[in-house]
Structure 1
Amino acid sequence: MEALGSTNRGSNSTGSGGDAGQQIAIASYINPLGDPASWERLLAYDTEKVSVLVANVMNDPDYAVDKDWESVIDQAASQGKKILGYVRTGYLGTGLRKLNKISTSGSSYMAPVSAVSFSMKAGQSVVPTIFTPICTHTSTIIRSANTPAHNYTVLNPGSPIAQCYEDTMDTLLTFESSYETYTNSFVPNDWTPKDPRKIWHIIYKVSQEQVAGVAALARSRHAGLLEISDDGQPNPYDTLPSEAYMKAVMDEVSGGKPSIGDPAKVTGSYVAGLPSNAVVSSSDYSSVTLTWSSVANALGYAVYKDGEQVLELPASLTRATIGMLDPGSSGITFEVRTILASSSGGSSRLISASTKSLPANGTIVNTGFTGDGDTVIYKADILVPYAFVRLFIGIKQELKVGFRLPVHGWPIDKAGVDDLGTQWHQVVNYLVEGNVFYSGFYEYTGTWNSESKANTEWSWSIGVAPQSQSGYTYMWNVPLAGTDAVASEYLIQGQGYAPINKVCMGTLYMYSTF
């Protein structure tokens, strides 16, 4: 274990004060509707100390603006804080669609977010020679956007990263784990950044007494951006530490502004019809993939859908997946254009494409479960790339003929209303949420019932319900031993893709609020 001291408080290895001081960057995954008080505190903090916030609206920008998030984002941006919009890059697959979408559509897609954070999963197998030019190309376009807010970019592998990424983004988040890991098994980059503000470290499960030592240790590791929290897994970012804790952290940083690189000039012109051999290589319910051969001296490629540019790629890539398409569409026209230093050559050539039609029962199909008792395996085919896929499980609730008894659980909106025009709900009691890396199993311990609208959070940490995915098929292994859950009473929900979709299977009951 490294010694944790508090010497050189509030300074960086390159000096203190001004723009170069160590600052606080917070992954503020706090719902502004559910916890407005925390956002009031975040907005009140000195921008020189708390300079960066992450608006993780739904683990990616959604297709519609969330008014509650819009309000806090606007307020924070007006104070000079940088607000990062979170975007998962994926494995150069479906996540890359959103990375490219942001790079070419500017504020209409990201508005009103003022910066972009691209996330790579820790340990993700991405070849630097492929991913580095994508990062550089995308960051250049965002930095060059007409809207001044889109000029700060972050790449988040959450682990050490090769030096070839240093100039791809303004900041690299290279550590995201617990105090124990930070002090006992930290793995540094094998290079030193030109500016400490290039590196961001997140350390959670830190007691208030340990804050000063952790901040000093982060400075010695060239981390100019820092988040320290006493929260922990499975979600260390859903709450804000106490005011006393935040003051202790702010006392340890000198403050400043994030380092933002000058935008590179985008040169060249788009040449229609090159390359001439672009084809549709595959398609599914909501996306089409195009491939083509490389063109000599190309600066990059632009993809047009029905005459409108939707993607822009560096010259190293000759494959593009265009998502967010309507299922069952036909006659979609695409065109791949080459970016050259001059506008010579080429003629227009359109490519026709279509998407598969969804089955009659929607985007979540072939649902079912096997087993009973200790472990139940749930299965479903999810035909579009939702940001969130959740499994809810209910319990057996007593019903009496002629009576509406209070039903306890978490209410989920269900299509339709009762005779009084009241929204119907399905009532559930357990939640499985996560991904193939981590999937938690949660129990609702709040007070909601059908005679009250008072809700509280799900309790954290019953255990883990491993999740796997193969193609369209999702599977959850859920340990029901020791719970009052009824395996047959379940619901699978997809959210974060137009449209929101919910499917109900089993015998979950529906109740209206009164």
Structure 2
Amino acid sequence: MSRRHGRGRARLLAAALALVVAPLAMPAPAAATTGGVGQRLAVPAYFYPGGDGAALWQRLTAQGTGIAVANPFSGPGKTRDPGYAAAIAAAGAAGVTVLGYVPTGYLGTTGRATRLGETTPAAWSAQVQQDIETWYRLYGGDGLGGVFFDEVQNVCGPDGAYARTYRALDEHTRAWHRGAFTVINPGIGTERCYADIGDVILTFEGTYESYVEWEPPAWHRALDPRRLWHLVHATGTLERLDEAMRLSERRNAGYVYVTPDVLANPWDSLPPEEYWQRQLAAAASPDRVPPRAPGAPLPIRVTPTEVTLAWLPATGGAAGYDVLVDGVRVAGTLGAEPLATIRGLDPGRRHQVSVVARDRAGNASAPSRAVPVTTARPDPRPPAAPAGLRAADTGVAHARLAWTAVPERDVVGYEVHLDGARLLALPAWLAGAEPEVPISGLEPGTTYAVTVVARDASGNTSPAAGPLTVTTTVPTGDPITDEGGTIGATAVTYAATFNLPFDFHHVFVDTDSDAATGFATAGVGADLLIENGWFYRHTGTGWSWTPVDGPSPLVSSVDGRYAWEIPVALAPAPHRVVFHGAGSSPEYYSPVVDVH
């Protein structure tokens, strides 16, 4: 090592240590990153990749398309769909990162309920992780690129609890699926506590009219453009498309998608070919010169599960960096600062780590020289096994697990395994003294083996609690029974028992008892729709629904018995309803029910 190089490394180490001491400071825009923003299209592909939709998915492979979001059933569904498997594989082979859609229900803070009718952050966290594992079990072998977290809160929450929960979900995804690319979608500007959650923050989702008036938070200007994504719909003319693309570049969005499509679902198609090609051309940057490779990373802090790295910055205008572990991209920086922390590593493991620089046009450098980094060994004492593992409740398609928290202070969380496969992780701070987690999507009349382990801060895992044998119940009678409804003084109540493990529980409400109006299904013309804990009004023609503002209509869900309430003003006169189950079981419609 030359004397000059040694002084450079010393300066690098001093600067990096200063950043470690003050990690909450937001990065300032680098002076060298003055070029225009090169953009890539990122598309919510909420259309089936068969029939007419097959051609739409083929268009997603066009040059410039960076991200596509697959959404078979407002989530992964329960069984592997060959059409989606083929579409994901083809898009991935063409360089498109395909993400699996996972709703997070704003962690229940707005009244959104899980499939089991719960509204706590812990219940939502458990469901989200099970959806993630289902996505990878069904489509991981087809090249699934990561996870799209929808319905994300935008405020930090009490003592930062909401942001901490989303950070835990993001870190869980990356730790269990190395190389996963993640996006969080609050759809509006977030508080700064969300800046380092996910690879990309979708900070605008709305109409062209609202986009013109919208101003992004000032701290967005300091970020690598590839950390920001804007979605603009109801942009009907080419002139509006041009203006939306100009605004998105000016607002530092490295990912963008503009469509003339409109609500209720503006993501159910792609724009006409002329519109699409014009958007691709507007997103492309004339700059094709990549920055030079950055210096080799230097580990400045190593723990059993984390490594903090610093490196000499690239010349040529780097806007951000990607960190590769064993050749796989695992993290990106917020901006141009040459510093990153890799989390979720296993203790005592040797890795090869390198860094790639990207400029504002999206050009990537060659990787830096790879350096070996070995995580520290864990402390010699693993935590005790969780005690009292039990099934607090079982049903046709779900079970609720409970146990007593491990008293060691350094326990950071628990991992739940189902039949030997990882299912979910529950942070200790979210679990409390008597942890409980719901498991959904099980098969009726089936026996499962459940184990739970505790994990401490140095990466040790405890001996397993269990295996606990859990057997779901066997449904009897019709798939939907005891259905009915009542008009009260202030609310209309609907209730039915769903005896099969449906993912979706629908109530089609025909408020005028006229099958010729609304959405025609099963003998009624539905003017309103309840779907699990969501509520919609029919608009337009066909399957076209607009959300109804207000609290979730779901009142309760216990062992398959669902009850909902809507304001009586929405359905004050005698009317008709049909209950419907769909998803993981064959769909079923109840007879038409008269509501008085």
Q: TM exceeds 0.5?
A: yes
Q: What residue is the counterpart of 1:469 in the other structure?
A: 554
Q: What residue is the counterpart of 2:411 in the other structure?
A: 298
Q: What amino acid maps onto 1:274 in structure 2?
A: A
Q: What amino acid maps onto 2:275 in structure 1?
A: Y
Question: Which of 377-386 and 333-342 deviates more?
Answer: 377-386
CA distance in 1 between partners of 2:155 and 2:497 (Å): 24
CA distance in 2 between partners of 1:145 and 1:348 (Å): 18
CA distance in 2 between partners of 1:214 and 1:220 (Å): 10
Indicate whether 1:440 and 2:537 are aligned.
yes
Q: What residue is the counterpart of 2:85 in the other structure?
A: 70
Cα deviation code 1:103-125 (max 9, x no counterpart): 66773244333221111256689
CA distance in 2 between partners of 1:306 and 1:145 (Å): 17
Q: What amino acid maps onto 1:388 in structure 2?
A: F
Check 1:366–1:72 CA distance in 2 against 1; reply closer, same or farther (3 A cut).
same
Q: How does 1:158-173 map to 2 (within 5 A)?
A: 158-173=187-202
CA distance in 1 between partners of 2:204 and 2:260 (Å): 16
CA distance in 1 between partners of 2:262 and 2:475 (Å): 41
Cα deviation code 1:308-350 (max 9, x no counterpart): 4322234433243332234566785443332453659x55543
Tell whether the 8 Å contact from 1:155 to 1:169 is kept in structure 2 after alignment: yes
Cα deviation code 1:485-505 (max 9, x no counterpart): 9944x4322223x32442412
Quote how far apart the aligned CAs of 1:226 are. Answer: 1.0
CA distance in 2 between partners of 1:188 and 1:364 (Å): 49
Quote how far apart the aligned CAs of 1:101 are. Answer: 2.7
Tell whether the 8 Å contact from 1:106 to 1:145 is kept in structure 2 after alignment: no
Tell whether the 8 Å contact from 2:46 to 2:268 is kept in structure 1 after alignment: yes
Which 5+ residue runs of structure 1 have no aligned equivalent? Answer: 1-12, 398-406, 413-425, 445-457, 509-514
Cα deviation code 1:328-373 (max 9, x no counterpart): 66785443332453659x555437575774764466444223469x
Indicate whether 1:267 and 2:346 are aligned.
yes
CA distance in 2 between partners of 1:477 and 1:249 (Å): 44
Q: How does 1:342-491 map to 2 (within 5 A)?
A: 343=460, 347-350=463-466, 352=468, 357=473, 360-361=476-477, 364-370=480-486, 378-380=494-496, 387-392=503-508, 426=522, 429-430=525-526, 432-433=528-529, 439-441=536-538, 458=542, 460=544, 468-472=553-557, 473-475=563-565, 487-488=575-576, 490-491=577-578
Indicate whether 1:335 and 2:474 are aligned.
no
Q: What residue is the counterpart of 2:40 in the other structure?
A: 23
| Structure holding more helix per residue | 2
Q: What residue is the counterpart of 1:53 in the other structure?
A: 68
Cα deviation code 1:261-300 (max 9, x no counterpart): 6433522479575333666566665131435435322343
CA distance in 2 between partners of 1:15 and 1:385 (Å): 55
Indicate whether 1:199 and 2:228 are aligned.
yes
Tell whether the 8 Å contact from 1:306 to 1:332 is kept in structure 2 after alignment: yes
SS at match of 1:499: coil
Quote how far apart the aligned CAs of 1:197 are. Answer: 1.1
Tell whether the 8 Å contact from 1:139 to 1:168 is kept in structure 2 after alignment: yes
CA distance in 1 between partners of 2:186 and 2:526 (Å): 31
Q: What amino acid maps onto 1:241 in structure 2?
A: P
Indicate whether 1:287 and 2:399 are aligned.
yes
Q: What amino acid maps onto 2:160 in structure 1?
A: T
Cα deviation code 1:228-259 (max 9, x no counterpart): 11112111111211112212322221269998
CA distance in 2 between partners of 1:120 and 1:408 (Å): 31
CA distance in 2 between partners of 1:367 and 1:260 (Å): 54
Tell whether the 8 Å contact from 2:241 to 2:279 is kept in structure 1 after alignment: yes
Quote how far apart the aligned CAs of 1:170 are. Answer: 0.4
Q: 1:220 aligns with which of 250, 262, 266?
A: 250
Q: What residue is the counterpart of 2:339 in the other structure?
A: none
CA distance in 2 between partners of 1:502 and 1:37 (Å): 27
- What fraction of aligned residue pairs are identical, expressed as a percent? 22
Quote how far apart the aligned CAs of 1:201 are. Answer: 1.2
CA distance in 1 between partners of 2:565 and 2:130 (Å): 29
Check 1:356–1:181 CA distance in 2 against 1; reply closer, same or farther (3 A cut).
same
Check 1:475–1:304 CA distance in 2 against 1; reply closer, same or farther (3 A cut).
same
Quote how far apart the aligned CAs of 1:80 are. Answer: 0.6
Check 1:479–1:348 CA distance in 2 against 1; reply closer, same or farther (3 A cut).
closer
Check 1:381–1:475 CA distance in 2 against 1; reply closer, same or farther (3 A cut).
farther
Tell whether the 8 Å contact from 2:389 to 2:466 is kept in structure 1 after alignment: no
CA distance in 2 between partners of 1:409 and 1:273 (Å): 59
Q: What residue is the counterpart of 2:579 in the other structure?
A: 492
CA distance in 2 between partners of 1:479 and 1:72 (Å): 45
SS at match of 2:585: coil
CA distance in 2 between partners of 1:350 and 1:365 (Å): 36
Tell whether the 8 Å contact from 2:156 to 2:162 is kept in structure 1 after alignment: no
SS at match of 1:494: strand
CA distance in 2 between partners of 1:162 and 1:463 (Å): 25
Cα deviation code 1:461-492 (max 9, x no counterpart): 699698711122224569999xxx9944x432
Q: What's the Cα RMSD here? A: 4.3
SS at match of 1:33: coil
Q: What amino acid maps onto 1:502 in structure 2?
A: Y
Tell whether the 8 Å contact from 1:390 to 1:432 is kept in structure 2 after alignment: no
Number of paired residues? Answer: 447
Q: What residue is the counterpart of 1:179 in the other structure?
A: 208
SS at match of 2:210: helix
Check 1:231–1:339 CA distance in 2 against 1; reply closer, same or farther (3 A cut).
same
Check 1:184–1:86 CA distance in 2 against 1; reply closer, same or farther (3 A cut).
same
Q: 2:147 aligns with which of 97, 113, 116?
A: 116
TM, length-normalised to structure 1: 0.71
Q: What amino acid maps onto 1:288 in structure 2?
A: R
Tell whether the 8 Å contact from 2:520 to 2:526 is kept in structure 1 after alignment: no
Q: What amino acid maps onto 2:255 in structure 1?
A: L
Q: What residue is the counterpart of 2:60 in the other structure?
A: 43
Tell whether the 8 Å contact from 2:483 to 2:593 is kept in structure 1 after alignment: no
CA distance in 2 between partners of 1:493 and 1:115 (Å): 31
Tell whether the 8 Å contact from 1:465 to 1:479 is kept in structure 2 after alignment: no
Q: What residue is the counterpart of 2:442 in the other structure?
A: 325
Quote how far apart the aligned CAs of 1:187 are. Answer: 5.5
Q: What residue is the counterpart of 1:236 in the other structure?
A: 266
Q: What amino acid maps onto 1:324 in structure 2?
A: G
SS at match of 2:591: strand
CA distance in 1 between partners of 2:483 and 2:231 (Å): 38
Check 1:132–1:124 CA distance in 2 against 1; reply closer, same or farther (3 A cut).
closer
CA distance in 2 between partners of 1:34 and 1:408 (Å): 28
Tell whether the 8 Å contact from 2:400 to 2:439 is kept in structure 1 after alignment: yes
Q: What residue is the counterpart of 1:80 in the other structure?
A: 95
